[in-house]
Amino acid sequence: MSSNLSELSGRKGLKTNLFEELGIAAKESGTPSRERIEELADEFLMGKANIFGSTSFYDFLKEENKGKKVFICSGSSCMTAGTQDALREQLSLPFTDEEIGEMCCLGRCHENNAFNYGGKNYSGNAVSEIEMIKSDRVVRDDEYNIASFGTAVLTETFPGITEYYKILSHSLSKTPEELLRELKISGLRGRGGAGFPIAFKLESCRSTEGLQKFIVCNADEGDPGAYSDRYLMEKQPHSVLLGMMIAGYIVGADTGVLYVRAEYPESQNILQAAVEDLVQQKLLGENILGTGFNFNFKLIKAMGAYICGEETALLSSIEGQRPEVRIRPPYPTQKGLFNKPTVVNNVETLACIPYVIKNGGEQFSAIGKGKSTGTKLVSLDGFFNKPGIYEVDMGTPLSVVINDLGAGFKEKIKAMHIGGPLGGLVPVDKINDLTIDFESFDANGFLLGHASVVCIPEKFPIIKYLEHLFQFTAHESCGKCFPCRIGSTRGYEMLKKAQESDYKMDRKLIDDLVETLEIGSLCALGGGLPLPVKNALHYFDEELSPYFK
């Protein structure tokens, strides 16, 4: 990351944004032309190599994307469901091989068979209507089960803008210190995986001097199997927006940036429409509600890179730089977007803030278990009889989620990958040992993360799943650190070779590789991959033993 490039990108602020300009340039053909890259380099006073380096990184900007028309989901859930090979065959009839690309993941894990065409996502049996979809004669609603078990913090019915934004009026009648105190009492922790208390981030940003500060919503929900953030953006967008506004008031920020992944086009459209509704209601802009508080939103459409879920890579992405992970310190709250103090939090975390401020920190902290306060959204994939999004109080037994809310499995399952690709691989015989909270998963050697559940059926080889995880990491690595960039590739090569030949892996070599990834990687992508690998080696040793010396 170059501080100079951050400053150059920030000269025009967010109104004319380099990353956004690259997306616009790629819209027609799938990749920006060399001529446009040179023009942008001159306009932003950057080297052509810098701009090309950024362009070549993203799935939907790089030259390989040129001419692609339809994209098949390559996420873990669709893979274990076994639906995508047949889907590709069906799509190869109306499209050529050169016109078919891939996206990971479309967040349609509840019914699989997922693909993207014309800026819209489809799943289930939609491919049977592909000719009508191509002629824009099909409108399909995305339906899945939504329910709460315990307290409805994020799944309660939206009462309308006028009623809901009374929480904003209430917030602006308090001092930032009073609101920050309520968030401290609440114990609200990051829902994106790290579980870091949000009040600490807000306080750090508030205490850092700066005329310009930002609140950034990390809506790059790239964990295959997770679609809880997508649910919030599409079904409860105002909880996200209001949470960002309150956070902005606390730290002294007047701008909220919504960084929404390319694979969620509907989320982008719904959030933008919600922002425009607030403008019409005079709840955005200058002197909101006559209080002197100013706030506006900027929606950034991402371009396909899992690493942008890491907060510092996300900030570099917004700046139009190659999204490589930054070394910390300094932390984003001290030196973030365009080198200005910035708070980055994920969708679900920000969406909890209005409830805390409306009901008080004590009421929120009374929900849950221990240091895991409040509720958690859980995503269940298509292997459940009742797949969908379920909100549960922290501390709810995993067995309740699996057997009562999800109504059990449709077929025999041997493991669940919970918490995204870097989460733990949980054998089904551990279901009764776990509760939905940070401490329970950590104590048992797993990770709650996004609380997404990807099922691995009996017929799906564990070694094939591990190969998929290494390949995913190799593809998505930002490349900045050797352990992640090289280690993930070597792991993928060994696992693939062991399945396709008589090659036997050396267990000590695998253990050394995993340890190097875990302790040497710069961020949680390379550092988190070892967890499901170690879980697999521990719980599925018998199944994996034929592939080792």
pLDDT in tens, the chain (549 residues): 467 888 888 888 898 999 999 999 999 899 999 999 999 999 999 999 999 999 999 999 999 999 999 999 999 999 999 999 999 999 999 999 999 999 999 999 999 999 999 989 999 999 999 999 988 877 777 899 999 999 999 999 999 999 999 999 999 999 999 999 999 999 999 998 778 899 999 999 999 999 999 999 999 988 989 999 999 999 999 999 999 999 999 999 999 999 999 999 999 999 999 999 999 999 999 999 999 999 999 999 999 999 999 999 999 999 999 999 998 899 999 999 999 999 999 999 999 999 999 999 999 999 999 999 999 999 999 999 999 999 999 999 999 999 999 999 999 999 999 999 999 999 999 999 999 999 999 999 999 999 999 999 999 999 999 999 999 999 999 999 999 999 999 999 999 999 999 999 999 999 999 999 999 999 999 999 999 999 999 999 999 999 999
| Cβ neighbours for 357, distance < 8 A, ≥ 6 positions apart | 167, 170, 171, 179, 182, 183, 246
End-to-end CA, the chain: 42
Q: How does DSSP classify residue 122?
A: E
Q: Are residues 373 and 363 in the same domain?
A: no
Ramachandran bin of 370, using left for φ above 0, alpha for ψ from -120 to 50, beta for the remaining angles? left
**Which pair of tokens denotes residue 232?**
């919030």
| Any domain includes 245 | yes
Give residue for tokens 């040497």: 520
- Domain with residue 80: its CATH number is 3.40.30.10
Judge whether 172 and 416 are in contact, CB under 8 Å: no
| Cβ neighbours for 313, distance < 8 A, ≥ 6 positions apart | 305, 307, 323, 324, 325, 326, 478, 523
| Any domain includes 434 | yes
The span from the CA of 312 to the CA of 485, in Å, is 18
The string of DSSP codes covering 64-93 is GGTT--EEEE--HHHHHHT-HHHHHHHHTT
| Any domain includes 140 | no
Q: Are residues 421 and 333 in the same domain?
A: no
| Any domain includes 514 | yes
- Domain with residue 384: its CATH number is 3.10.20.600
**Which pair of tokens denotes residue 45?**
């006073």
| Any domain includes 473 | yes
Which residues form the domain of 155?
145-367
Q: Are residues 268 and 225 in the same domain?
A: yes
| Cβ neighbours for 393, distance < 8 A, ≥ 6 positions apart | 149, 150, 151, 367, 368, 369, 374, 375
Residues found in the chain: 549
* Coil, helix or strand at residue 437: coil
Q: Are residues 302 and 176 in the same domain?
A: yes
- Domain with residue 213: its CATH number is 3.40.50.11540
The tally of domains found in the chain comes to 5
**Which pair of tokens denotes residue 357?**
């401020």
Q: Are residues 359 and 478 in the same domain?
A: no
Of 322, 337, 367, the residue that ends a domain is 367
User: Checking DSSP bridges between strand 293-301 and strand 342-346, what pairing results, if any?
Assistant: unpaired
* Coil, helix or strand at residue 345: strand
pTM for the whole structure: 0.96
Q: What is the pLDDT of residue 2?
A: 67
Q: Are residues 29 and 89 in the same domain?
A: no
Q: What is the pLDDT of residue 191?
A: 92
Of 65, 85, 108, the residue that ends a domain is 65
Q: Is the dihedral of CA 132, 136, 137, 139 positive or negative?
A: positive
The string of DSSP codes covering 209-278 is --S--EEEEEE----TT--HHHHHHHH-HHHHHHHHHHHHHHHT--EEEEEE-TT-HHHHHHHHHHHHHH
User: Checking DSSP bridges between strand 115-117 and strand 372-373, what pairing results, if any?
Assistant: unpaired
Residue 366 CB coordination number (10 Å): 14
Residue 105 main-chain phi, psi, to 5 deg = -115, 155
- Longest alpha-carbon distance in the chain: 74
Residue 61 main-chain phi, psi, to 5 deg = -125, -30
Of 65, 94, 119, the residue that ends a domain is 65
**Which pair of tokens denotes residue 293?**
């508080």
Angle between helices 176-186 and 198-207 (to 10 degrees): 150
Judge whether 167 and 354 are in contact, CB under 8 Å: yes
Q: Are residues 404 and 469 in the same domain?
A: no
Q: What is the pLDDT of residue 42?
A: 94
**Which pair of tokens denotes residue 40?**
């942008």
Q: Are residues 404 and 289 in the same domain?
A: no
The span from the CA of 150 to the CA of 397, in Å, is 12
Exposure b/e, 53-81, CB count within 10 A at least 16 = b: ebbebbbbbbeebeebbbbbbbbbbbbbb
Q: Are residues 19 and 110 in the same domain?
A: no
Q: Are residues 256 and 395 in the same domain?
A: no
Cα 393 to Cα 179, 233, 377, 408: the distances in Å are 23, 21, 9, 20
Q: Are residues 114 and 220 in the same domain?
A: no
| Any domain includes 139 | no
Q: Are residues 268 and 404 in the same domain?
A: no
**Which pair of tokens denotes residue 224?**
């295959």
